[in-house]
Amino acid sequence: MKLSFGKAKSSVGLDIGSSSIKLVELKQTKKGYRLINLGLAPLSPETIVDGAIMNSPAVLDGIKGLLAELKVKTRDVVTSVSGTSVIIKKVNVPMMTEDELITQIQWEAEQYIPFDINDVNVDFQILGPSDEGQMSVLLVAVKKDMINDYTGVLTEAGLNPVVVDIDAFAVGNMYEINYPLAEGEVLALVNIGSSFININVCRDGISIFTRDISSGGASYTEEIQRQLSLSYNEAEAIKKSAGVEGENTPKEVLDIIGVVSDSISAEFQRSMDFFGTTNPGVSVNRICLCGGASRTHGLAGVISARLGIPSELVDPFKKVECDPKIFDPKYIANLSSASGVAVGLALRMAGDR
């Protein structure tokens, strides 16, 4: 962590998700963090598919629109990637220093990465000693093509991408500034977006398991659209109105939402079962949900019931100072669940590893 003294710099997190771009600008204060900017620009379906940018002019337009609308002056930004081009693995390597590992990481990574090592950027975090003479390392590899696509569009928008993070880790950083960590508690941080569910299981603030599931809010919209012959926008609107006071959502819609929630929670359970078999004796105490689709009517309850673990919705701005004279609390409440990743990104300053 780079320490900054004197006048705190503000930093921008830009989360390019498959359904929308989220921008969060935070400034570090004596007490914590203050919100400087918050905005969302929707993207049409097919703009980003499986985490890959298919239509960069549309993403560029979205970013430029946000920068102009919010009058953002900061140029350094932190963004993130997720999906199947991102490989995160906990591996054992012989005990060595961080500097030694930097020179050896390509070689160590080669055995664990299913892509050509020359096509990926590799990063790591030393987690601590494991077996005798060995240490546990969290290895992260992302396809260079994907990083270039993301940083390219940012550069084109006149921005300076300083860090490319991973969605699941950003959610961990966001959680840490907002909620106290209870010692020994095992948390499953789950970001339910439009096309991905990013899972990050943490103990004492350290990530012990991550996985991205290809599912999310878009599954509800697509199913409603298909079964009721509606347009994408109609299906999206009817989905969001479910469970809202004063809305009379048709029973067929509630039924479809229930079926999709069941399948999402079954998929989540499979990941948690896998976590259980690879981490014997460790059980998750709490499920913390964020992401736009975590607001889906009934979903948190369905997940909780299926896993028998309490779940709650995380507020990414819980401890962030938000001036109500600048930001309408209703505006923040509406964007907050989708802003978890962007808040986590804005927390990372230039120079961070």
Nearer to Mg ion, 186 or 190 (CB): 190
Q: Which lies closer to Mg ion via its Cβ, residue 83 or residue 193?
A: 193
Taking Cα atoms as reference points, which of 90, 154, 147 lies closest to residue 119? 147
Q: Does 172 bind Mg ion (CB under 5 A)?
A: no
User: Which one of Mg ion, ligand ATP, none interacts with residue 236, CB within 5 to 8 A by kind?
Assistant: ligand ATP
The one of Mg ion, ligand ATP, none whose footprint includes residue 338, by CB under 5 to 8 A per kind, is ligand ATP
Burial of 136 (0-12, 13-18, 19+ CB in 10 A): middle
Give dist(CA 235, CA 224) in Å, integer.
Answer: 6
The distance of closest approach from Cβ of residue 257 to ligand ATP in the complex, given in angstroms and rounded to an integer, is 9
Tokens standing for residue 226? 């298909």
CB nearer ligand ATP, residue 193 or residue 344: 193
CB 338, min distance to Mg ion, A: 7
Closest by Cα among 295, 345, 325, 334 to 33? 345
Q: Which is nearer to Mg ion, 271 or 337 (CB)?
A: 337
Both structure tokens of 72: 């953002």
Beta bridge partners of 138: 90, 125
User: What is the C-alpha to C-alpha distance for residues 140 and 109, in angstroms, rounded to an integer?
Assistant: 9
Nearest residue (CB) to ligand ATP, 64 versus 240: 240
Count CB neighbours of 107 within 10 A. Answer: 10
Which residue's CB is nearer to Mg ion, number 124 or number 196? 196
Residues 4-33 that bind Mg ion (CB under 5 A): 17
Residue 341 CB, nearest approach to Mg ion (Å):
5
- 112's tokens: 């664990």
Shortest Cβ distance from residue 18 to ligand ATP (Å)? 3
Which C-beta is closer to ligand ATP: that of 172 or that of 217? 217
Is the Cβ of residue 161 or residue 193 nearer to ligand ATP in the bound state?
193
Judged by the rule CB under 6 A, the positions of this chain that interact with ligand ATP are 17-20, 193-196, 216-218, 221, 236, 239-240, 291-293, 295-296, 338
Q: Residue 291: which of 207, 189, 155 has the closest Cα?
A: 189
User: How far from 159 is each of 66, 249, 303, CA to CA, in Å?
Assistant: 12, 43, 39
83 binds Mg ion (CB under 5 A): no
Smallest separation (angstroms) from ligand ATP to the CB of 43: 7
In terms of CB distance, is 11 or 221 closer to ligand ATP?
A: 221
Does residue number 340 form part of the binding site for Mg ion (CB under 5 A)?
Answer: no
- For the bound state, the minimum distance from the C-beta of residue 89 to Mg ion, rounded and expressed in Å, comes to 22
CB of 1 to ligand ATP, least distance (A): 26
User: Shortest distance, CB of residue 109 to ligand ATP, whole angstroms?
Assistant: 25
In the chain, the DSSP E strands lie at 10-16, 20-28, 33-42, 48-49, 52-53, 76-81, 86-94, 120-129, 134-143, 160-166, 186-192, 197-203, 206-213, 286-290, 311-313
C-alpha to C-alpha distance for 151 and 159, rounded to whole angstroms: 9
> Of 51, 193, 316, 344, which lies in the binding site for Mg ion, with binding defined by CB under 5 A?
193
HSE-up of residue 49 (Cα within 13 Å, Cβ side): 5
Burial of 257 (0-12, 13-18, 19+ CB in 10 A): buried
Check residue 161 for interaction with Mg ion (CB under 5 A).
no
Measured CA to CA, the distance from residue 38 to residue 338 in angstroms comes to 11
| Interaction mask 279-318, Mg ion, x per CB under 5 A | ----------------------------------------
Name which of ligand ATP, Mg ion, none residue 161 binds, using a CB cut-off of 5 to 8 Å depending on partner kind. none
Least distance (Å) between residue 342 CB and Mg ion: 9
Site size for Mg ion (CB under 5 A): 2
**What does the binding site for Mg ion look like in residue numbers (CB under 5 A)?**
17, 193
